[in-house]
Amino acid sequence: MAKEKQLSMLERWAIDEEMYPDNILGMEKAEGPWVSYYDNGNKKIEGQFENGREVGKWIYYNPDGSIKKVKNY
């Protein structure tokens, strides 16, 4: 089984900025359903937050709309 790549701090900050555009400093915890999109309008990531943490099934998509991976939290 391949080991998942660890993200650098800059990569993690870029993800956080995309996921929380109105909460850049991370002061508020995310809650409820969450979806991000590619510039072409296709879904990029889809999942659910509870108390600021990813929960349940998260789906990661390729730019063409196909599923890249599914991760359970």
**Which candidate, 41, 42, 49, places its Cα nearest to that of 67?**
42
pLDDT of residue 27: 54
Burial of 47 (0-12, 13-18, 19+ CB in 10 A): buried
The answer, yes or no, to whether residue 55 has pLDDT greater than 90, is yes
Does residue 1 have a pLDDT over 60?
no
DSSP tally for the chain: helices H, then strands E: 1, 4
The whole-number average pLDDT for the span 12-32 is 66
User: What is the rounded average pLDDT of the residues 13-32?
Assistant: 66
The DSSP secondary-structure symbol of 34 reads: E
DSSP-assigned letter for residue 72: E
